[in-house]
Chain A
Amino acid sequence: GDSVTQMEGPVTLSEEAFLTINCTYTATGYPSLFWYVQYPGEGLQLLLKATKADDKGSNKGFEATYRKETTSFHLEKGSVQVSDSAVYFCALSTSGGSNYKLTFGKGTLLTVNP
């Protein structure tokens, strides 16, 4: 079945460091891929998405490229800020009416220190 594997956390970085959070997936067909962010005490928010191979999603300085050949959707940011401290979830969706399914990874906690 469909699955999403994220790198284990927690990830601790200093402000202005480069961030990569790895995400790989297993799915039949052609899934859409997403990154969600959850700030402390809040619900999840959609951060970015990509719907087909080689698409790059971007938002708030974060980027991720849909790589079909490596089944990956790694999240990157060139210079993190303390305010980026949160839990990040990778997710995939497969469409198809009653076969629709949305699968989340287990989440990666990011802590950015000043």
Chain B
Amino acid sequence: DAGITQSPRHKVTETGTPVTLRCHQTENHRYMYWYRQDPGHGLRLIHYSYGVKDTDKGEVSDGYSVSRSKTEDFLLTLESATSSQTSVYFCAINMIEGRRTGELFFGEGSRLTVL
């Protein structure tokens, strides 16, 4: 089974502070994704990566940045957290290596609360 570990799983922070969420995969897959899940919105893509140092924006990328210095790690950073970024964040990889299909394997999520 594909392995994705997200950390931290839960975080409470203050408005204006920086936050970094980490996604670690054990599968050596090329594509990695960050989504946020909000009631009434389903899942929305924030950023994705198609290789080391190769990233691109999704539909809700404002206020977020990402980095991928190693195949296995994909970091999501909120430079200055706002209350609108309170959400559950999911990391995902494609089930089939090298192919961008709708078959994704998701991590367990990171719940972020910005006060």
A→B interface (CB under 8 Å): 32-34, 41-46, 49, 89, 91-93, 95, 100, 102, 104-107
Residues of B within 8 A of A95 (CB): 100-101
Q: Assuming the A-B contacts A89-B42, A89-B43, A102-B45, are A45 and B102 also in contact, with contact meaning beta carbons closer than 8 angstroms in the complex?
A: no
Closest 10 CB pairs of A and B: A93-B102, A43-B106, A106-B42, A104-B42, A104-B43, A100-B100, A44-B106, A34-B102, A43-B108, A102-B102
Give complex CA distance A107, B42 in Å: 6
Minimum CB–CB distance for B93 against chain A, Å: 11
Give A75 to B28 CA distance when docked, in angstroms: 33
Cβ–Cβ contact B42 & A46, under 8 A:
no
Instruction: Tell me the complex Cα distance, A104–B41, Å.
Output: 9
Of the A-B pairs whose beta carbons lie under 8 Å apart in the complex, a sample of 29, sorted by A's number, is: A32-B101, A32-B102, A33-B102, A34-B103, A41-B108, A42-B108, A42-B109, A43-B4, A43-B90, A43-B106, A44-B92, A44-B106, A46-B95, A46-B103, A46-B104, A49-B102, A49-B103, A89-B43, A91-B102, A92-B102, A95-B100, A100-B100, A102-B45, A102-B104, A104-B43, A104-B44, A106-B40, A106-B41, A107-B42
Instruction: Give the secondary structure class of A's interface.
Output: strand
Residues of B within 8 A of A104 (CB): 42-44
Give the residues in chain B near A32, CB-CB below 8 Å.
101-102
Of A33, A44, A106, chain B has the most CB atoms within 10 Å of the CB of: A44
Q: Are B108 and A93 in contact (CB under 8 A)?
A: no
Q: Which of A42, A44, A45 lies in contact with B43, CB distance below 8 A?
A: A44
**Closest B residue by C-beta to A6:** B42
Q: Which of B59-115 contact A (CB under 8 A)?
A: 90, 92, 95, 100-109
CB contact between B101 and one of A93, A105, A107 (< 8 Å): that residue: A93
Q: Across the interface, which residues of B come within 8 angstroms of A105, CB to CB?
A: 42
Chain A residues with Cβ below 8 Å from B108 are 41-43
Cβ contacts under 8 Å, B101 to chain A: 32, 93, 95
- Which A residue's beta carbon lies closest to that of B103? A46
Query: Which residue on chain B has the smallest CB distance to residue A42?
Result: B108
Besides A32-B102, A43-B4, A49-B103, 15 other CB < 8 A contacts?
A: A32-B101, A33-B102, A42-B108, A43-B107, A43-B108, A44-B43, A44-B106, A45-B106, A46-B104, A49-B102, A89-B43, A91-B102, A93-B101, A95-B101, A107-B42
